[in-house]
């Protein structure tokens, strides 16, 4: 099986390194600049505890150099998606699957669902349907990532905790391609769950990330410090209650209280969210798919979101003043 990683950061790098090391797939990557140079000279390096492994993968700046793939793993941050949409075509054959392993609400979220939200387009995530045109939902297998990793330098992934991947078809079907991909990822060492309602799994993860990601970027705080402040927790709880009401309207019910989720998060200790890592590294912030999408969906289904709105305004302003979010966007 030919698998291409489009976005060799923390998650994409981890998946690529595990698959390449396991040896059951021919793994390649689309990369640029220092990451491309690092992959060509030393492959992708994976640090897990005291163990450092190195796996060679074929890397190219132009997707056309890699040719048609069986699976393309798209694991970029939201701001990079338009560039992926513009360049991905040479990797796609008639039956190529795109594994969408990203944070937040994806462009295909309302494809394959029933009810009043079926086929809803999200302008905050995919302005002008550019991404949908390049990567339609029929190609997608959704992936929800439950692990903590970072990419401190080009070509190096540090895996800290967690090992979970949830995969599923947008329409909830139990397809042969989902089962095949789940087996491949499990063989590479991941704890894989197949889901008949991947949108629920996406919304549940968003329910937690919606607050902790932007607040960590705004404050520079790790998870334990945010949890220790009762006023911050009160703000998070209010935003999570709004997101849960949205979930009820779109068929993604949250069967947990914010306090129960806080207890789960507390066990993770002093973790640094992906948005905090991006802010500290001066990388574009993934605001739209995480916070902007929640606000837009709330508006579309008639749920007031004053706390989410305030959070969106604050993190958007933070990003704009530091050049990490477009001045004219949103």
Determine phi and psi for 270, rounding to 5 degrees. Answer: -85, 60
Q: Choosing from 2, 77, 205, 295, which is the catalytic residue?
A: 205
CB atoms near residue 135 (< 10 Å)? 25
Active site (annotated) includes residue 205: yes
Query: Is there a contact between 239 and 311 (Cβ–Cβ < 8 Å)?
Result: yes
Q: Which residues partner with 74 through β-bridges?
A: 6, 100
**Structure tokens of 64?**
């056309």
How far is residue 257 from each of residues 3, 44, 151, 248, 289, measured CA to CA in Å? 39, 40, 32, 14, 23
Query: Is there a contact between 319 and 291 (Cβ–Cβ < 8 Å)?
Result: no
Cβ neighbors of 165 (< 8 A, separation 6 or more) are 101, 143, 144, 145, 146, 147, 185, 190, 191, 192, 193
Q: Which active-site residues does the annotation give? A: 205
């Amino acid at each position: 099986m030919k698998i291409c990683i489009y976005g060799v950061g923390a998650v994409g790098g981890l998946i690529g390194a595990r698959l390449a090391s396991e040896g059951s797939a021919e793994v390649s990557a689309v990369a640029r600049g220092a990451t491309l140079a690092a992959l060509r000279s030393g492959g992708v390096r994976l640090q897990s505890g005291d163990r450092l492994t190195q796996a060679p993968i074929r890397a190219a700046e132009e997707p056309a150099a890699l040719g048609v793939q069986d699976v393309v793993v798209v694991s970029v941050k939201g701001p990079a998606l338009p560039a992926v949409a513009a360049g991905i075509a040479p990797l796609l054959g008639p039956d190529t699957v795109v594994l969408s392993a990203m944070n937040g609400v994806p462009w295909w979220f309302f494809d394959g669902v029933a009810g009043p939200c079926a086929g809803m387009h999200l302008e905050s995530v995919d302005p002008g349907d550019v991404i949908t045109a390049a990567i339609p939902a029929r190609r997608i297998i959704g992936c929800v990532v439950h692990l903590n990793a970072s990419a401190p330098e080009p070509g190096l992934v540090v895996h800290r905790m967690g090992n979970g991947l949830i995969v599923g078809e947008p329409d909830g079907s139990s397809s042969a391609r989902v089962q095949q991909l789940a087996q491949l990822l499990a063989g590479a060492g991941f704890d894989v769950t197949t889901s008949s309602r991947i949108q629920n799994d996406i919304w549940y993860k968003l329910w937690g990330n919606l607050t902790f990601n932007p607040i960590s970027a705004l404050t520079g705080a790790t998870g334990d410090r945010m949890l220790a402040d009762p006023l911050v927790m009160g703000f998070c709880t209010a935003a999570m209650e709004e997101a849960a009401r949205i979930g009820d309207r779109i068929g993604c019910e949250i069967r947990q209280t914010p306090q129960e989720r806080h207890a789960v998060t507390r066990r993770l200790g002093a973790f640094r969210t992906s948005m905090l890592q991006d802010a500290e590294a001066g990388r574009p912030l993934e605001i739209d798919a995480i916070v902007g999408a929640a606000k837009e969906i709330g508006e579309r289904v008639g749920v007031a979101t004053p706390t989410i709105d305030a959070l969106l305004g604050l993190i958007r302003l933070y990003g704009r003043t530091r050049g990490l979010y477009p001045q004219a966007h949103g």
